[in-house]
A and B are shown apart, each in its own frame.
Chain A
């Protein structure tokens, strides 16, 4: 008999986790897998969670870790098989159903660290401190990832809209 309040909060948090998972993976299918992996890990670690703790931040940090370790495993496996020269380094995820040149498409093409920073801060509205804690990095690192990610996103979206750029001179 889980208490109702907790169950409701958990539902809300999972909606957020699913959004974050989608921003990280760029695919609905992979996002749902990541949500499930996160919940399974949370169940295993439930004993270590303090009732007074921040449940949402706790779940997001579990998801972040699960994503990072899955990504590393995949990269290392690919590397180990890879004969000859490596492919250019770029996010492996592809958005299939989204329109090209979309801001979301551009987000998914950013390096993982920048993508995570933007998602946690701008979409999930975590404080900078919580976002840094979730990603396991110092505050300064979070801020620079945020700044670099936003600038990369701006350039990506800008360059896909040449018509808007022709007007006016540079500052």
Chain B
């Protein structure tokens, strides 16, 4: 086995999609010849790829909805006006930007590479963290049951951390449906009634154990990975306090965060 034999999963996927660099073709073919199991899998993916395309071709998706056509013409009009920005005038421009705000905002947030889990944690905090009546599905007293439930739904061992030494008491938890699968939400509260949401999901470690601090919709938030779990922490608190709690939970604090 030399270095050239190291074929990663990405290259196998690229092979399926016909996006492998020419120079790597022979190496991948050689690898597949030596690993019949991989060969079988890759052939199945290739078959799946063309089957999917065929099946979608067969689905009839009519293109004559009058509302869609109207919107399509309108968009074509808008896009084909090269001097649009110039003649529209400042006042109109401001209105336009406000209208477009949702998507400029959505994109800028996404392009910051903050994981979906962070957004989910922020939304969960806004919806449930502020709910005085029914903020959780399982109360703190059911800690063990909660850990078992979360672990089985996430497919990874999930522990329910205690933040008591930092002044935050567990209120309870609930399970949410995230983009990547199940998300465990834990809600904590301090003596002043301030609440903090910790979300845990089983995602591949892409972000690393380093703590990333971000502000989302006026909330202080941060995220990090540990092992096979991804964490997001959200609260109406100071950056310092959030970072302290994250550190207690196992995040690595990079120099200069605070």
Contact = CB atoms under 8 A, between A and B. Distances in A.
Interface of A: 1-3, 6-7, 10-11, 14-15, 18-19, 22-23, 28, 31-32, 35-36, 39-49, 51, 55, 61-62, 65, 68-69, 71-72, 75-76, 79-80, 84-86, 89, 102-104, 107, 111-113, 118, 121-123, 127-128, 133, 136-138, 140-141, 143-144, 146-147, 150-151, 153-154, 157-158, 171
Interface stretch (B46-54, B212-220, B234-242): B46-54
B80 A3 contact: yes
Interface stretch (B22-30, B158-166, B175-183, B191-199): B175-183
28 contacts: A2-B73, A7-B76, A7-B80, A10-B75, A11-B72, A18-B63, A39-B71, A41-B102, A43-B71, A43-B74, A43-B75, A44-B96, A44-B102, A47-B100, A51-B82, A68-B179, A76-B123, A86-B137, A86-B175, A89-B153, A103-B48, A103-B51, A118-B52, A121-B17, A122-B53, A136-B107, A140-B204, A154-B45
Given A2-B76, A22-B59, 5 more contacts: A2-B77, A7-B73, A46-B84, A80-B128, A157-B48
Contacts of A123: 52-53, 56
A104 B56 contact: yes
B109 to A, nearest CB: 8
Nearest to B98: A44
B106 interface: yes
Contacts of B16: 150
Contacts of B182: 89
A85 B45 CA distance: 37
A116 to B, nearest CB: 9
Interface string B88-109: 1000010011011011101100
A51 B85 CA distance: 12
A137 B204 CA distance: 13
6 pairs of A and B residues whose beta carbons are closest in the complex: A136-B110, A2-B76, A39-B71, A46-B78, A171-B37, A45-B100
A10 B10 CA distance: 32
Nearest to A7: B76
A45 B103 contact: yes
Nearest to A105: B55
A150 B80 CA distance: 39
Interface of B: 9-10, 13-14, 16-17, 19, 36-37, 40-41, 44-45, 48-49, 51-53, 55-56, 59, 61, 63, 65, 67-68, 71-80, 82, 84-85, 88, 93, 96-97, 99-100, 102-104, 106-107, 110-111, 113, 115-116, 120, 123-124, 127-128, 137, 153, 174-177, 179-182, 204, 206
Contacts of B44: 154, 158
A164 B82 CA distance: 58
B68 A32 contact: yes
A40 B71 contact: yes
A154 B17 contact: no
A43 to B, nearest CB: 5
B191 to A, nearest CB: 27
A103 B49 CA distance: 9
